[in-house]
Chain A
Amino acid sequence: MSPAGQVRDWLDERFGWDDLVAFIRHKTVPLHRYSYWYYLGGITLFLFTLQVVTGILLLLYYRPTPSDAFGSVQYIMTQVHFGWLIRSIHSWGANLMIFTAFAHMFSVAFFKAYRKPRELTWLSGIILLFLVLGFGFSGYLLPWNTLAFFATTVGTNLIGQVPLAGPWLLTFLRGGADVTGATLGRFFAFHVALLPGLATAFLLTHLLLVQRFGISVPPSLEPAWQAKPPAEREIRFFPNFMLRELMAWYLALGALGTLAALRPWGLGTKADPFASAPAGIRPEWYFMFMFETLKLIPARVGFMTGEALGVLVFGLAAVAWTLLPFLDRGGTGRKRRWAAGAVVFALGYVVGMTLYGYLVMAK
């Protein structure tokens, strides 16, 4: 027997390798005109893996103190071999991952893939999205540059507006009253320890649930899809779907490389906590719709400050969005359509307010 065969036998004897291979061979993915949306989850997973790898490489040189953080990132970008590439891929990859995570979420929402029995799949996915946003928020501060410093000050101020728990959350996140070295230390700990741990746990849960309940077919296509013979309505996960997914990953890698080489992620200037905030302070694009909304709310609405009201409304909206599978109980007519309307509104609002924010900034 060949050495490869011997290894396979060894694995099969202990872990049931042949059963696993048989399972993968029989696993299928629905085939219809919207199947390409299924690749978004895989691309997000690929980008997450890339973030882990590049993040570990950055950790070799990064120093999370106010005196060293900026210099260490500058060192990575100018002195370390391919440090610029690693840092740029990490920064661009984070943005691309958040984009694909959002796109994945909206595709799931549009196709009503959250319906019974996939409520927990949706729930774990939404938690993953919040964790990814947490990665973005905590990672943004780590280079300790001017823009990040003041954007974090503004961002944490908003968290301080959360009713009841706001002041406590603010102090917990900042490690004091202001954004200081204590904040940097905490954000670093969240970014490289707490969030990766939680994300790994929820990612495994999410993948397990996807595996357990399979991939959903959009309700509008389901009757026609069911009517087709099995060979026409499904493709094998391995190798057919997996190879296509691999193509998507390569294309994502190409896009990332292009961005990193042509538009390396900038570093700006070192943060000076005693300097006044520069003009044009803004959050990253994925928080822009919330930031712009809060700016439009009057300073005081009834007994609440405008910011507190905005944070409360966004909080309630996030809870409602998370509970979408439990609120959308199916039915016919209007009952069936309200959820689709809510998804269209949510997407329109997020995209519209983000564009509006950038248009206002450009003026």
Chain B
Amino acid sequence: MEARVDSTQITDAWWRAPAALAGYLFLLALVLGMAAPTTARAQAAKNSCLDCHSQLPPPLQVKPEEYNQSIHAEKGLTCVSCHGGDATKADMTAAMSAAAGFRGHVNRTGIPKLCASCHANATYMRGFDPSLPTDQYSKYLTSVHGHLLAKGDTNVAVCTDCHGVHDVRSPSDPRSSVYPLNVPGTCARCHANAETMKAYKIPTDQYASYTASVHYEDLVKNGDLSAPTCVTCHGAHGATPPGVSSVVNVCSTCHVFQAQLFDKSPHARAFLAAGLPGCVTCHSNHRILQPTDAFLGTGKGSVCVNCHAPGDPGYTAAAQIHSSLTALQASIDRSSAILARAGSSGMEVGPAELELSGARDDLTKARVGVHNFSAPAVEKETQAGMGVAQKTYQAGVAALAERDYRRKGLGISLGVIVLVVVSLWLLIRSIESRNSLEAKK
């Protein structure tokens, strides 16, 4: 039997083969077209430096994971940006050729200048972060570190010692060595190292002292990232120890009122004449402890008696100031205790407690006011607080009296209630016995 060919099959058959071929070619072109730019991009992003340096032993080793998480990698900078060369070349000689601009290892003396080539260029840096300062290098040149480096001392800190080398992170990154919580430890790496500091003949107890201070407590225990670290007082890039005359200026950046009062006090002139640094003379420099009222006065722990002897006016004023402060503190404690007692008895003492916080404010003001070392001025502040504390103490006394009154009232009311209940019971019995008699009749 002869196969019969349909006319439509013949019609389909003539175009099927070329159409399939065209389709394949189109798909091929599409695939190649898509692949081509990918390959180009891959070549552009190729970093032959890391191919080798990730495999090399230290100090030539660069860990890709560290570099990739750095702020520089994040902003698109590569090894070439600092070291020169051509990272697109797979051949080591070509990649690190002088013709490709390869600079290779950067000497310590050259590091600040290399970093400054970008970080001191305001126009360039604006492209990344317009708010980023560009004066780090000029400040560094004025610092003790910068001065010594200029003299050829390569042991002093350069940019990479504090910020890291290939793993430089933003200061706001908690993993950064210059994140506020990490700054003291970063400085201590050198400044707490007796061996490193031996040549400079400077003490190495700053870090230990700082960790005992109220500033460290605020930074680490309270998590206050605005609390002072080394760089707050010494400067970061322009790190220099403040001189005798400038200590007050350093402290006053935060402690404004205390500094203003101190400047007007007799101590300002006396300390300057004696060559004593303002705040540090009483509060120390790195071991700045939580100040207490015991700092003042003439007792144990007082710093006043370091200079003032019995009989001189300063000694008397110190005793008066101490007495004013401790009297207000005692008065506040007394009020607070009675209000707490009333509160725990269920009395509403919220308004009195709020008022008492005013006395605490007065005490704080008086403690700040201490820095003009005037006994009458301190007493004026404490007297205002004493009035408030006394008033709230009376509120506490009244609250306890009210509590007792309520309890007496309760006793009487319960007595009446018991009486009524008993009367009702007797009435019920009387009614029911009468009913029962009536029922029997």
Q: Is B417 an interface residue (CB 8 A)?
A: yes
Interface positions of A from 257 to 273, Cβ below 8 Å from B: 257-258, 261-264, 266-267, 269
Chain A: minimal CB distance from B350 (Å): 6
Are B346 and A263 in contact, with the CB atoms below 8 A? yes
Q: Is B427 an interface residue (CB 8 A)?
A: yes
Are A267 and B350 in contact, with the CB atoms below 8 A? yes
Chain B: minimal CB distance from A74 (Å): 6
Partner pick for A266 among B346, B410, B439, CB 8 A cutoff: B346
How far is it, in angstroms, between the C-alpha of A269 and the C-alpha of B354 when the chains are bound? 11
Q: Is B351 an interface residue (CB 8 A)?
A: yes
Interface positions of B from 392 to 437, Cβ below 8 Å from A: 406-407, 409-410, 413-414, 417-418, 420-421, 424-425, 427-428, 431-432
Chain B: minimal CB distance from A78 (Å): 5
- Of all chain A residues, which has the CB nearest B428? A243
Are A250 and B417 in contact, with the CB atoms below 8 A? yes
Chain B: minimal CB distance from A243 (Å): 5
Are B428 and A251 in contact, with the CB atoms below 8 A? no
Most chain A CB within 10 A, of B418, B424, B432, B439, is at B424
Q: Is B261 an interface residue (CB 8 A)?
A: no
Q: Is A231 an interface residue (CB 8 A)?
A: yes
Chain B: minimal CB distance from A21 (Å): 16
Q: Is B333 an interface residue (CB 8 A)?
A: no
Are B410 and A258 in contact, with the CB atoms below 8 A? yes
Q: Is B347 an interface residue (CB 8 A)?
A: yes
Given A247-B421, A250-B420, check contact A261 B409 (CB 8 Å): yes
Q: Is A244 an interface residue (CB 8 A)?
A: yes
How far is it, in angstroms, between the C-alpha of A150 and the C-alpha of B347 when the chains are bound? 24
Chain A: minimal CB distance from B34 (Å): 39
Chain A: minimal CB distance from B438 (Å): 11
Are B421 and A250 in contact, with the CB atoms below 8 A? yes
Interface positions of A from 213 to 272, Cβ below 8 Å from B: 231, 239-240, 243-244, 246-247, 250-251, 253-254, 257-258, 261-264, 266-267, 269
Are B348 and A240 in contact, with the CB atoms below 8 A? no
Q: Is A199 an interface residue (CB 8 A)?
A: no
Are A258 and B347 in contact, with the CB atoms below 8 A? no
Most chain B CB within 10 A, of A84, A254, A258, A261, is at A261
Q: Is A40 an interface residue (CB 8 A)?
A: no
- Of all chain A residues, which has the CB nearest B439? A231
Q: Is A77 an interface residue (CB 8 A)?
A: yes
How far is it, in angstroms, between the C-alpha of A246 and the C-alpha of B421 when the chains are bound? 8
- Of all chain A residues, which has the CB nearest B408? A261
What residues of A have a CB within 8 angstroms of the CB of B406 in the complex? 84-85, 261
Given A250-B420, A251-B421, A253-B417, check contact A261 B410 (CB 8 Å): yes
Give the size range of B's interface with the partner. 20 to 34
What residues of B have a CB within 8 angstroms of the CB of A264 in the complex? 346-348
Given A247-B424, A261-B406, A261-B407, check contact A74 B348 (CB 8 Å): yes
Are B348 and A267 in contact, with the CB atoms below 8 A? yes
- Of all chain A residues, which has the CB nearest B424? A247
The proximity string for B residues 346-381 relative to A, scoring 1 for CB distances below 8 Å and 0 otherwise, is: 111011000000000000000000000000000000
Chain B: minimal CB distance from A46 (Å): 14
What residues of A have a CB within 8 angstroms of the CB of B350 in the complex? 74, 267, 269
Partner pick for A250 among B347, B424, B431, CB 8 A cutoff: B424
Are B421 and A243 in contact, with the CB atoms below 8 A? no
Chain A: minimal CB distance from B395 (Å): 10
What residues of A have a CB within 8 angstroms of the CB of B410 in the complex? 257-258, 261-262
The proximity string for A residues 76-100 relative to B, scoring 1 for CB distances below 8 Å and 0 otherwise, is: 0110000011000000000000000
Most chain B CB within 10 A, of A246, A247, A264, A269, is at A247
Partner pick for A74 among B351, B424, B432, CB 8 A cutoff: B351
What residues of A have a CB within 8 angstroms of the CB of B413 in the complex? 254, 257
- Of all chain B residues, which has the CB nearest A266? B346
Chain A: minimal CB distance from B380 (Å): 31
How far is it, in angstroms, between the C-alpha of A240 and the C-alpha of B431 when the chains are bound? 8
How far is it, in angstroms, between the C-alpha of A258 and the C-alpha of B415 when the chains are bound? 12
Are A77 and B348 in contact, with the CB atoms below 8 A? yes
- Of all chain A residues, which has the CB nearest B410? A261
What residues of A have a CB within 8 angstroms of the CB of B351 in the complex? 74, 78
What residues of B have a CB within 8 angstroms of the CB of A74 in the complex? 348, 350-351
Interface positions of A from 43 to 87, Cβ below 8 Å from B: 74, 77-78, 84-85
The proximity string for B residues 86-121 relative to A, scoring 1 for CB distances below 8 Å and 0 otherwise, is: 000000000000000000000000000000000000
How far is it, in angstroms, between the C-alpha of A253 and the C-alpha of B413 when the chains are bound? 10
What residues of A have a CB within 8 angstroms of the CB of B432 in the complex? 240
How far is it, in angstroms, between the C-alpha of A284 and the C-alpha of B431 when the chains are bound? 43
What residues of A have a CB within 8 angstroms of the CB of B428 in the complex? 239-240, 243-244, 247
- Of all chain B residues, which has the CB nearest A267? B348
- Of all chain A residues, which has the CB nearest B413? A257
How far is it, in angstroms, between the C-alpha of A18 and the C-alpha of B389 when the chains are bound? 68
What residues of B have a CB within 8 angstroms of the CB of A253 in the complex? 417
Are B348 and A84 in contact, with the CB atoms below 8 A? yes
How far is it, in angstroms, between the C-alpha of A3 and the C-alpha of B72 when the chains are bound? 104
Given A247-B421, A251-B417, check contact A262 B407 (CB 8 Å): yes
Chain B: minimal CB distance from A229 (Å): 10
Given A231-B439, A240-B432, check contact A254 B347 (CB 8 Å): no
Chain B: minimal CB distance from A184 (Å): 19
What residues of A have a CB within 8 angstroms of the CB of B418 in the complex? 254
Given A78-B348, A250-B417, check contact A243 B424 (CB 8 Å): yes
Chain B: minimal CB distance from A236 (Å): 8
What residues of A have a CB within 8 angstroms of the CB of B424 in the complex? 243-244, 246-247, 250
Chain A: minimal CB distance from B355 (Å): 12
How far is it, in angstroms, between the C-alpha of A261 and the C-alpha of B347 when the chains are bound? 10
CB<8 Å pairs between A and B, sample of 12: A84-B406, A85-B406, A240-B432, A243-B427, A243-B431, A247-B424, A247-B428, A250-B424, A257-B410, A257-B413, A262-B407, A264-B347
Identify the 3 closest CB pairs spanning chains A and B, nearest first.
Answer: A261-B410, A264-B346, A254-B417
Given contacts A250-B417, A267-B350, 14 further A-B contacts (CB under 8 A): A84-B348, A84-B406, A243-B428, A243-B431, A244-B428, A246-B424, A247-B421, A250-B421, A250-B424, A254-B414, A257-B410, A261-B407, A263-B346, A264-B347
